[in-house]
Amino acid sequence: MVATRRGSAGQEARATADREIGATGFGGRARAAFTMATVPAGSAKYIILAENLTKVYAAGKIEVAAVRGVSLAVEPGEFVAIVGPSGSGKSTLFYLLGGLTRASSGRVVIDGVDFATLNDSERTKLRKHRIGFVFQKFNLLPTLSAMGNIEIAYTVSGRASGPSGVPMDLKYLDHLSDLLAIKGRLKHRPSELSGGEQQRVAIARALITRPAIVLADEPTGNLDTKNSDAVLAMLVKSNRELGQTTLMITHNPEAAAVAGRILYMRDGEIVREEAGSGAGK
Ligand code: ADP
Ligand code: MG
């Protein structure tokens, strides 16, 4: 099943559109072969396209199929949540979509680029340039201030380096700090910030590079209800106000509800799709 914004009607429409592009672009012969599984045409309009992804871990003699044939597509500007119980393969899927691990089979196309066509250093570059990661445990560097953490993420993204490099946009950082309500906290180190503040700094760090997509794995997993609500509200805001495409993974159905679209995962598969509350697009 390919999960798309408009569900099965959307799949129909997209398949038809792809066939039509195939028909006009490549003539009748190519037409028959013009399927989602083999041809990247049309994939550029998705920020993430995953096709038949599988991941099998070899744990000693036992093989664990953590992700079993997941296909999904995320359109620009969408806020998609993937929800499922512990052990259902969410984090593995997150690693696959973020290019942090290789799929056993299937493929991931990010912003029109197929991970499989890249070598390790190109893959790292794509990841740093195009993906903003948010993790459950914030992963801020403890010896740097909040500001330092954001700056170093920008530097590491490579956007500042080389002849066409662009220095970090301080006005944009100002805007993000307002949006995320961390303005007065930027000089503080992570240990001087609450969990909620740390996660908001981590979101600023993810957004500063203007990524094609923010991938968040259990972003509220370490937070109490109040901070959790605030962080979800910030993710929704960045989706609404900056048009930030966002994919959030969570075990918590209440957190998932802020998304525009919710994909349910169980035993390594996406088993169901529903509209969210629409707070996020
Ligand atoms: P979730 O994030 O939904 O809790 P995970 O993706 O972490 O799920 O795990 C899915 C399944 O894969 C689980 O059965 C887990 O034990 C297994 N798994 C995860 N990582 C590894 C690994 N590195 N080696 C072996 N098995 C793993
Ligand atoms: Mg997990």
- C-alpha 215/C-alpha 219 separation (Å) is 10
DSSP state of 191: G
The ligand minimizing its distance to the Cα of 93 is 1
How far apart are the C-alpha atoms of 121 and 44, rounded to whole Å? Answer: 22
Q: What is the pTM of this model?
A: 0.84
Q: Tokens in use for 117?
A: 């066509």
Write the pLDDT tens digit of every residue in 183-234. Answer: 999 999 999 999 999 999 999 999 999 999 999 999 999 999 999 999 999 9
Q: Report the alpha-carbon distance of residue 219 to residue 133 in Å, rounded.
A: 10
* Residue range 100-122, pLDDT digits in tens: 999 999 999 998 999 888 888 89
- CA 165 to ligand 2 centroid distance, Å: 35
Q: Tell me whether strands 79-83 and 62-74 are parallel, antiparallel or unpaired.
A: unpaired
d(CA 243, CA 157): 20
DSSP 137: T
Bridge partners (DSSP) listed for residue 247: 80, 215
**Angstrom distance (rounded) from CA 228 to CA 230:** 5
| Any atom of ligand 1 within 6 Å of the Cβ of 57 | yes
Q: For residue 249, list its beta bridge partners.
A: 82, 217
Best residue among 56, 57, 252 to mutate for probing ligand 1's pocket (most ligand atoms within 8 Å of CB) is 57
> Which of 13-17, 34-38, 166-170, 227-231 is predicted least confidently?
34-38
Residue 22, pLDDT > 60, answer no
Distance in Å, CA 93 to ligand 1 centroid: 10
Q: SS3 for 75? A: coil
- Return the residue whose CA atom lies nearest to atom 16 of ligand 1: 87
